[in-house]
Chain A
């Protein structure tokens, strides 16, 4: 057995689908080929059989078990995906099934009898999504999370603790507001600049001058605007992103 010995005899996605449809009939629900990834959608009843066929059919020869994992499918429940690869033809095939049992009790048949590598992958999927795999030698104890962990962390309804929005307990800038909630207006004074250095003093003076000039210009502009009745434009490029908690 050597690598890619049969690359020129590799089946195209269409041929793969036709072959498996011929073998499994209604077990194959559909197929998608997007972003250079070929996925066959399989009915749960045909889940184990399709893996056995993929491994044993001489034309497919999917010998390398790449991975198995769950995907949250929203209100429809959960999907289980396996990725298989053939070291002789160089083909990759993704198989996807929708678990039975909805969000309450998702169940997917185990493929551990076909591929040894499914053992830990299914344990991980159970640990992360709570999907049961009948036929698996033992999903417990939890493989990645701690043994007494409660909940299924990768489900979308399991919230990431650090992202639960928590109001900031104080003001963002110190001394922005006084005790009654009024904005404190402070003018930069020469003595406010930190340090006894002349440079600091000069910079504070300049800042004060700039600010005064800006205020005067603003007042003049406001007078003009009131005359020609021009409303305030929308704030330019308001930030739309959510607050980033622990980034």
Chain B
């Protein structure tokens, strides 16, 4: 039966004013052909060049296949050809929103292999910078995630705060994204005069402004409607995949390397680890917000501990890690960042594996979006919090 015949059969036989007599053809469920929908590689919801292919059944996602690698720059290979000083400038690039935290892991790994004692002031400075870096990173995601869900305002607020913090970090490091402030044995130079005073002032500013963010999000009906019970992640699936950071804490597990395996001087401060209940998109975002508050509290405590002293130490002309391997993990803003540093005693590493949080977290996306509506996929993608450079390295 041709289309024309069908239309005639459906539309015929009604008197004027009686409406159309529409006859449904076929019985049982409406059969829809599976459709393949490709989002990306350049799509605003993917924060970079990341592609995801959905197999759709109507509005519902049957299967999702993330396609990654568009930003693969071969950092692990490049690191095998550089000495440890050069690697610092290399590793702060894969996750461009947490440059300082990325450097820190390499510095700690080399120091652990050399069994080097780092001056206490340098350790506190590293903590201070790492925490401000975390706040910077989380503010970015607060702005961008709300933007994806249609709220423009939080982005403006987030960037107002970000700019102040950027200025602070720039004063000490000279960089806005790629700080290159760590070095083996400490940090490059001491803090500039007035840094701590400005840092203290910003703690006050942030504490005053955080309630605004909570109001913008918690009190927003649309935001809640689009995130509550969307993309729940059970804790056992999360750990089996290797999800860490806010996405793991949202499932109710208070796993945070700063608390469970304290590095630097984290055992001397109180770090509150916020957790969620359902592991849904709302919980992930809520944990992210509360992590900022926790970081601000840590920064406030650091101000009381930071004392005088040297910030680095004299190094040999060429730092060579002894033979063997070590694994160091740190709590990066987006999750746990692990470095496997294997050395043959030379001046470059034999193998530097970057275990990046985004790579593992993004692996949970196919599980999260399966059976969800396409419109929810955007809110799920954003709530996993990833940086594409961190996935592809």
Could you tell me if A117 and B253 are in contact, using CB atoms closer than 8 angstroms? Answer: no
Question: Which residues of B have CB within 8 Å of A35?
Answer: 112-113, 324-326
Residues 236-288 of B at the A interface (beta carbon under 8 Å): 236-237, 239-242, 244, 253-255, 259-261, 273
Could you tell me if B239 and A144 are in contact, using CB atoms closer than 8 angstroms? Answer: no
Query: Which one of B74, B77, B327 contacts A37 once the chains associate, using CB atoms below 8 Å?
Result: B327
Identify which of B74, B76, B239, B260 gathers the most chain A CB atoms within 10 Å of its CB: B239
Band of interface residues on A: 35 or more
Could you tell me if B69 and A117 are in contact, using CB atoms closer than 8 angstroms? Answer: no
Check B81 for interface membership: any CB of A closer than 8 A. Answer: yes
Check A235 for interface membership: any CB of B closer than 8 A. Answer: no
Stretch from A11-19, A67-75, A187-195, A212-220 forming part of the interface with B = A67-75
How many pairs of A and B residues are in contact by the CB < 8 Å rule?
A: 112
14 pairs from A and B in contact (CB 8 Å cutoff): A3-B260, A35-B325, A35-B326, A65-B241, A67-B353, A71-B350, A83-B355, A90-B260, A115-B242, A116-B367, A120-B359, A144-B393, A241-B318, A247-B82
Say yes or no: A115-B240 contact (C-beta < 8 A), given A90-B260, A94-B327. Answer: yes
Could you tell me if B360 and A117 are in contact, using CB atoms closer than 8 angstroms? Answer: yes
Say yes or no: A64-B327 contact (C-beta < 8 A), given A69-B340, A90-B260, A145-B72. Answer: no
CA separation between A63 and B243, bound complex, in Å? 11
Query: Which one of A71, A87, A92 contacts B253 once the chains associate, using CB atoms below 8 Å?
Result: A87
Apart from A1-B235, A120-B363, A142-B69, 16 more pairs, CB < 8 Å: A34-B325, A35-B112, A35-B324, A66-B242, A66-B329, A69-B340, A83-B340, A116-B237, A116-B363, A117-B242, A120-B359, A128-B76, A143-B68, A143-B69, A144-B72, A145-B69
Q: Which B residue sits closest to A38, measured CB to CB? A: B327
Residues 41-59 of A at the B interface (beta carbon under 8 Å): none
Could you tell me if B239 and A87 are in contact, using CB atoms closer than 8 angstroms? Answer: yes
Query: Which one of A64, A145, A146 contacts B242 once the chains associate, using CB atoms below 8 Å?
Result: A64
Check B78 for interface membership: any CB of A closer than 8 A. Answer: yes
Check B103 for interface membership: any CB of A closer than 8 A. Answer: no
CA separation between A191 and B160, bound complex, in Å? 56
